[in-house]
Amino acid sequence: MSGLLLIAAWAWPLALAAVAHRPGFWWSPMVGVIPALLVLAVLPTESAPFVIPWMLFGATFALDTLGWAFLAFSSLLWAVTSVFVSDRQRWGPRAGRLRVFFLLAMGGNLMLILAADGISFFVGFALMGLAAYGLVAHQGGEQRRRAGRLYLAWTIVGEVALFSGLVLAAHQAAGHLGLAALAAGAAESQLAFLLILMGFGIKAALPGLHPWLPVTYGHAPSATAAILSSAMIKAGLLGWLRFLPLGGEPLPIWGETLVWLGLIAVFGASLIGLTQRLPGAILGYSSIAKMGILVLGLGLILIDPALAPAGILALTLFAAHHALVKGGLFLGVELRRNLPRPSRVAPLVPIGLLGLALALSDAPWSSGALAKHQLEPLLTSGDWAWLKSALTWATVGTLLLMARLLWVLWRLPASETTTSPAGLWAWGLLLVVIIGFPFVLGEGQDWSGTAWPLAIGIAIAIPFALLAWWRPHWTRGLIGLIPPGDILVVARPLRRLVARRLGPVRGLWNRARAAGIGLLQRIRPSPSDTNHDPERALRDWVMVGVLWLGIIALLAILLLAQ
């Protein structure tokens, strides 16, 4: 029975996806998450694995504490977002397609959370990643389409890196495909470790692999960006926690690399985020910064494996807090933009947004304060005690980012499409959960937090806001200084440079080709062919024979050289 429920949690949304395109099934996203919620309600946090021997290479599904925590916040976010996605007015004539992709992504996400073997996890991860394209690119437009393409390209690169990494890890694990076996395998091979780190790193916006994220978040519809920025980005973290060898031998080089990458993310992303115009891009950079804290924590665990059990728990708590609040912020942006302005409930939205912004900035009594407090044992370990004060400054950065967000939202024009007030109720429920979060999960002193970073942040933000108000042209230069996707800008001239450098090479190649073809035609003229056929020369008999002999000769030389 419990096994069937573990299957139903991901299989039910996938089954619904088969019919969700019909207009009569507009409600299907909302019922998709029900079995997952049932799992949370009925099953204990640790349940026996359920094996389906004939599926994939023997698929195994189970619930453990880590999976339970991820399932808890993810299914709540899917449930809340599904109310927005089920809105019939909002999504235009292709709403059915959006529902299908939403349910597919949901099924994939829930599947990977419950997966207890590497292949099932990978299947869920791939399904989620690809289906999310439909959430990004919905309702066209050139910019959104470009964002979708960027998302898909990076996702595919991530899949391929992950595939290669898992193959290498599976080889080291002598064919065992359980999560623990693969993690042990990844410890044996540096390359497998790197590929797995990168494969999930693209999803989790590891610095350097992040440029797709602000562009995608910036242009995707806010309601779907909400699920991208919450449940899905955290799937990358879960991947790391499942497949990286945490708690085994110390890996100081990898660990230190991750700590520094995390720090770069925390401070770099906050600064770049301040220059953004699009609310989604601001939130995106904030996500990169927050994921940076998780990357940093992961690095510390790799340096000192003794931290693993408590450290993983703290990272999970932080992930849950960030997912809930970030999802809430995106949905708030959606409401702010699409709720008809003159309505009575519209003024509630900015109040909620302000609260969420404070929670993200670790204000006292908020979920952020609790999450930060839980991280402390991790941060004060060994030689890294200075990280604690460094991260306090990161809080200032977050607060400034949130101030920037509120500023942009305040001046945001209303959208032409409107959303129904049902979303507001779902959002309200999410806010209640976030408010209750520290009270349920923490002790009194845990969430009192520290107020002074908040005070510093406000002290910087207010003069800046006044300046921007009175003398807009003084601050205007900063806005849009760095476009979303930052290092992509560097890539563009680089590509031009490579193209220019390749120009002569290509010319030489073409000339050599023409000469070769000319030579062949002199040996054996072929009848001229009017339709364009670039391989014609290759089909010439002499050419085929010469090539075959040439390749064989080359291989023979290689053979002899061995």
Partner 1 sequence: MTLTNWLPALIVLSSLIPGLLIFALKEEQVTTRTVLNMFGATFKLVLVGIMVWGVLQNQVYESRWVLAPGLELILHADALSVLFVVLSSGLWFFTTIYAIGYLEGSPYRSRFFGFFSLCVSATVGIALAGNLITFVIFYEILTLATYPLIAHRGTPQATRGARIYLYYTMTGGALLLIGAVWLQVLAGPVDFVEGGVLDVLPTELSGQLILIFFLMLAGLGVKAALVPLHGWLPQAMVAPAPVSALLHAVAVVKAGAFGIVRIVYDVYGIEFAHSLGLLTALAILASITIIYGSVQALLQDELKKRLAYSTVSQVSYIALGAAIFGPVGTIGGLLHLIHQGIMKITLFFGAGNYAETLGVHKVSELNGVGQRMPWTTLAFTIGALGMIGIPPVAGFISKWYLGVGAATAGMDWVILVLAVSSLLNAAYFLPILYRAWFREPPAQWPKESIPAGTWETKWTLLMPPVITAALALALGLLATAPFSVLEWSRLIAIREYGL
For partner 1, the binding residue among 7, 37, 49, 58 (CB under 8 A) is: 58
Nearest to 293 by CA among 362, 231, 227: 362
Which C-beta is closer to partner 1: that of 57 or that of 439? 57
Q: Report how far residue 126's alpha carbon sits from residue 237's, in angstroms, rounded to the nearest whole number.
A: 15
Helix, strand, or coil here: 20?
A: coil
Which C-beta is closer to partner 1: that of 56 or that of 468? 56
Nearest to 255 by CA among 265, 264, 245: 245
Examine residue 512 and tell whether it contacts partner 1 (CB under 8 A). Answer: no
376-381 own/partner pairs: CB under 8 Å, 24+ apart:
377/307, 377/310, 377/311, 377/314, 378/297, 378/300, 378/301, 378/307, 378/310, 378/311, 378/314, 378/315, 379/297, 379/300, 381/300, 381/304, 381/307
For partner 1, the binding residue among 55, 184, 308, 348 (CB under 8 A) is: 55
Binders of partner 1 among residues 542 to 561 (CB under 8 A) are: 543-544, 547-548, 551-552, 555-556, 558-559
Instruction: Look up residue 230 and give its DSSP letter.
Output: I
Examine residue 119 and tell whether it contacts partner 1 (CB under 8 A). Answer: yes
Examine residue 122 and tell whether it contacts partner 1 (CB under 8 A). Answer: yes
Residue 249 beta carbon to partner 1: minimum distance, rounded to whole angstroms: 22
Residue 177 beta carbon to partner 1: minimum distance, rounded to whole angstroms: 10
For partner 1, the binding residue among 71, 132, 137, 213 (CB under 8 A) is: 137
Count other C-beta atoms under 10 Å from residue 465's C-beta.
Answer: 16
For partner 1, the binding residue among 53, 342, 347, 493 (CB under 8 A) is: 53
Q: Report how far residue 348's alpha carbon sits from residue 422's, in angstroms, rounded to the nearest whole number.
A: 14
For partner 1, the binding residue among 15, 19, 56, 308 (CB under 8 A) is: 56
Site string for partner 1, 147-186 (x = CB under 8 A): -----x---xx-xxx-xx--xx-xx---x-----------
Examine residue 509 and tell whether it contacts partner 1 (CB under 8 A). Answer: no
Residue 176 beta carbon to partner 1: minimum distance, rounded to whole angstroms: 11
Q: Report how far residue 513's alpha carbon sits from residue 296's, in angstroms, rounded to the nearest whole number.
A: 53
Examine residue 452 and tell whether it contacts partner 1 (CB under 8 A). Answer: no
Examine residue 269 and tell whether it contacts partner 1 (CB under 8 A). Answer: no
Residue 529 beta carbon to partner 1: minimum distance, rounded to whole angstroms: 9
Chain centre to alpha carbon of residue 9: 22
Examine residue 465 and tell whether it contacts partner 1 (CB under 8 A). Answer: no
Which C-beta is closer to partner 1: that of 94 or that of 471? 94
Examine residue 123 and tell whether it contacts partner 1 (CB under 8 A). Answer: yes
Residue 33 beta carbon to partner 1: minimum distance, rounded to whole angstroms: 22
Q: Report how far residue 59's alpha carbon sits from residue 50's, in angstroms, rounded to the nearest whole number.
A: 8
Examine residue 97 and tell whether it contacts partner 1 (CB under 8 A). Answer: yes
Residue 116 beta carbon to partner 1: minimum distance, rounded to whole angstroms: 16
Helix, strand, or coil here: 365?
A: coil
Nearest to 286 by CA among 262, 313, 267: 267
Which C-beta is closer to partner 1: that of 15 or that of 271? 15
Q: Report how far residue 213's alpha carbon sits from residue 203's, in angstroms, rounded to the nearest whole number.
A: 9
Q: Which of 279-287, 371-379, 484-492, 541-549 is the region at the interface with partner 1 (rule: CB under 8 A)? A: 541-549
Query: Angle formed by the axes of helices 142-172 and 179-188, to 10°?
Result: 80
Chain centre to alpha carbon of residue 181: 25
Q: Which of 48-56, 84-92, 406-414, 503-511 is the region at the interface with partner 1 (rule: CB under 8 A)? A: 48-56
Chain centre to alpha carbon of residue 234: 7
Examine residue 541 and tell whether it contacts partner 1 (CB under 8 A). Answer: yes
Please provide residue 60's backbone torsions phi and psi, each rounded to the nearest 5 degrees. -125, 135
Residue 56 beta carbon to partner 1: minimum distance, rounded to whole angstroms: 6
Residue 122 beta carbon to partner 1: minimum distance, rounded to whole angstroms: 6
Which C-beta is closer to partner 1: that of 58 or that of 350? 58
Nearest to 162 by CA among 204, 201, 105, 213: 201
Which C-beta is closer to partner 1: that of 163 or that of 267? 163
Q: Identify whether the C-beta of residue 258 lies closer than 8 Å to the C-beta of residue 315.
A: no
Residue 241 beta carbon to partner 1: minimum distance, rounded to whole angstroms: 21
Binders of partner 1 among residues 519 to 538 (CB under 8 A) are: 534-535, 538
Residue 546 beta carbon to partner 1: minimum distance, rounded to whole angstroms: 9
The string of DSSP letters for 45-64 reads SSEEEEEETTSTTTEEEEE-
Which C-beta is closer to partner 1: that of 2 or that of 164? 164
Structure tokens at 237: 């973290």
Q: Identify whether the C-beta of residue 322 lies closer than 8 Å to the C-beta of residue 236.
A: no
Please provide residue 189's backbone torsions phi and psi, each rounded to the nearest 5 degrees. -125, 120
Examine residue 30 and tell whether it contacts partner 1 (CB under 8 A). Answer: no
Structure tokens at 135: 């959430």
Which C-beta is closer to partner 1: that of 13 or that of 332? 13
Residue 223 beta carbon to partner 1: minimum distance, rounded to whole angstroms: 18
Site residues, partner 1 (CB under 8 A): 53-58, 97, 119, 122-123, 126-127, 130, 137, 140, 145, 152, 156-157, 159-161, 163-164, 167-168, 170-171, 175, 191, 534-535, 538-539, 541, 543-544, 547-548, 551-552, 555-556, 558-559, 562
